[in-house]
């Protein structure tokens, strides 16, 4: 087995669920007579814990954001019980890394219960050697804690880990962890900062798999 690991973000990277979250964030805001600006989407994607609470408090004009965060996650979880939409190339790239002998982890801001549920519903649990959730660390993305925990669970040095992410905060977290950030954009545009921090940027998981295959990694 290669002494290399690959860590995947979940929402917006392996699963096409980020748009579901955005729909619920906006629905909750509308119920409170608010209209969220475009900037909310860019700030909230890829965050968890206290950083997410602070963003919620700012945009929803509340003193404590944890209740709104809980409500949004509960609504999304109910919707995903029926089906968890996969990003194109999700199964192919997991199979590729598994066949190449990489150890694979999920590093997601979502609750562990949701991570396990999504993997069970999609039948992808067997691909993962470790799972790391935002609930298990003190600081969420863009802090590196989640990815460092994932690497620890895999037993792999951070500098031997690729991290697949769709959001700027996720890329910042992977970069801060001393890993190799790979961006597959979803809702967020690629900025110059992302180009500087990324090991590679791909338009899809399909393209990523093809390039990794050709490179012999």
Closest CA to 129 of 98, 108, 159: 98
Average of per-residue pLDDT across 31-48: 90
Better-scored residue on pLDDT, 211 or 46 = 211
Q: Specify the pLDDT at position 50.
A: 83
Q: What is the mean pLDDT of residues 83-105?
A: 97
Q: Establish whether 129 is a catalytic residue.
A: no
Residue ranges of the domains in the chain?
A: 5-16+85-215, 18-80
DSSP 105: E
Check whether 210 has a pLDDT greater than 90.
Answer: yes
pTM: 0.90
Name 183's bridge partners: 165, 201
Class of domain 5-16+85-215: alpha beta
Q: What is the spatial order of strands in the sheet that 200-201 belongs to?
A: 130-133, 103-108, 5-8, 161-165, 180-183, 200-201
Whether the pLDDT of residue 153 is over 90: the answer is yes
Q: Please, what's the b/e burial string for 165-186 (b: 16 or more CB within 10 A of its CB; e: otherwise)?
A: bbbbbbbbbbbbbebbbbbbbb
Give the pLDDT score at 3.
Answer: 78
- Of the candidates 141, 151, 201, the residue with the CA atom closest to the CA atom of residue 179: 151
Active site residue 11: yes
The answer to whether residue 95 scores a pLDDT higher than 50 is: yes
CB 110, CB 70: distance < 8 Å: no
pLDDT in tens, 57-78: 999 999 999 999 999 999 999 9
Instruction: Compute CA distances 86 → 15, 56, 138, 195, whole Å.
Output: 4, 27, 29, 25
Residues 161-208: tens digit of each pLDDT? 999 999 999 999 999 999 999 999 998 889 999 999 999 999 999 999
pLDDT confidence tier of residue 1, bands split at 50, 70 and 90: very low
Backbone angles phi, psi at 201, to 5 degrees: -130, 130
């Amino acid at each position: 087995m290669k002494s290399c690991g690959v860590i995947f973000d979940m929402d917006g990277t392996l699963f096409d669920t980020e748009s579901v979250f955005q729909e619920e964030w906006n629905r909750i805001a509308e119920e409170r007579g608010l209209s969220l600006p475009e900037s909310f989407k860019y700030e909230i994607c890829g965050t968890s814990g206290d950083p997410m609470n602070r963003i919620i408090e700012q945009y929803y004009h509340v003193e404590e954001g944890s209740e709104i965060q809980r409500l949004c996650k509960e609504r999304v979880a109910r919707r995903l019980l029926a089906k968890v939409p996969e990003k194109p190339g999700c199964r192919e790239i997991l199979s590729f890394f598994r066949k190449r002998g990489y150890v694979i982890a999920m590093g997601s801001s979502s609750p562990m219960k949701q991570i396990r549920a999504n993997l069970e519903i999609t039948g992808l649990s067997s691909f993962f050697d470790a799972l790391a959730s935002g609930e298990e660390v003190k600081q969420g993305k863009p802090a590196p804690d989640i990815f460092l925990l994932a690497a620890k669970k895999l037993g792999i040095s951070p500098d031997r880990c690729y991290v697949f992410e769709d959001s700027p905060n996720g890329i910042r977290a992977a970069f801060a962890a001393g890993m190799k950030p790979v961006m597959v954009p979803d809702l967020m545009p690629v900025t110059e900062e992302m180009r500087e921090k990324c090991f590679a940027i791909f338009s899809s998981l399909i393209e990523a798999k093809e390039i990794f295959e050709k490179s012999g990694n």
